[in-house]
Amino acid sequence: MKSYRLSPAGQRLTLILLVTALLIWAFALWSFASTLRISYNPLQFWPSLQASLEVGLGVGQVVPALLMLCLIVATPLLLWSLLEEWAACYTPTDDGLRFRSLLGINLLYPWSSISAVRRADDDADEPLDELILNTDQSGQIAQPWLRFLHRQAFGGKRLPIYAGIEDRDELLDTVRQRLR
């Protein structure tokens, strides 16, 4: 059976997005520390935070610090999603659609569990389709933290077919034929 992966152009785009996300994360870490005037040195973190709190924090510090904290937490989740897209491999089999990705993620979506293929965003420059699933198949992932990361990237009852997948239309046609 043929496997479908990101094309070289899709890999380049994903790499650009990964580098950009890392830069945003680095900026958020730096901005958070400088806004609150704290040190990330493990021996100085709590004393510098206490000193900053004793002086008092104004709205001009709290609001940007909260925004940067959100970026500090959310960006690693975005990075995981991009890395999972980078490693995505779809293989149609007689039993269903096999999806493989990072760290041994290897899921089989039986044809009976796929209810539809739909366009995720009609207004997007590049098409993004997703498979709508009847059941959450992420239970096949044994490691709980890996299962959590996969679910946060895709959700439990959908599987994206990325725009950068090589021969993407052929894959979608194969899936649609199996759903009839």
Residue 7 pLDDT grade (very low, low, confident, very high; cuts 50, 70, 90): very high
Is the Cβ–Cβ distance between 135 and 129 less than 8 Å?
no
Residues of the chain with CATH 2.30.29: 91-179
Mean pLDDT of 141-147: 93
Residue 37 pLDDT grade (very low, low, confident, very high; cuts 50, 70, 90): confident
Residue 27 pLDDT grade (very low, low, confident, very high; cuts 50, 70, 90): very high
Q: Between these two residues, 158 and 58, which has the higher pLDDT value?
A: 158
For the 91-179 domain, the top CATH level (class) is mainly beta
Tens of pLDDT, residue by residue over 52-107, are: 888 888 888 899 999 999 999 999 999 999 999 999 999 999 999 999 999 989 99
Q: What is the pLDDT of residue 68?
A: 96
Contacts of 17 (CB under 8 A, 6+ apart): 82
Residue 150 pLDDT grade (very low, low, confident, very high; cuts 50, 70, 90): very high
Tens of pLDDT, residue by residue over 98-138, are: 999 999 899 999 999 999 999 877 676 777 899 999 999 99
Mean pLDDT of 15-20: 97
Residue 161: strand, helix, or coil = strand
Beta strands in the chain (DSSP E): 4-5, 89-92, 96-100, 106-110, 114-119, 129-133, 158-161
Mean pLDDT of 16-36: 95
Q: What is the pLDDT of residue 137?
A: 93
Q: Supply the mean pLDDT for the chain.
A: 92
Cα angle 130-1-147, degrees, rounded to a multiple of 5: 45
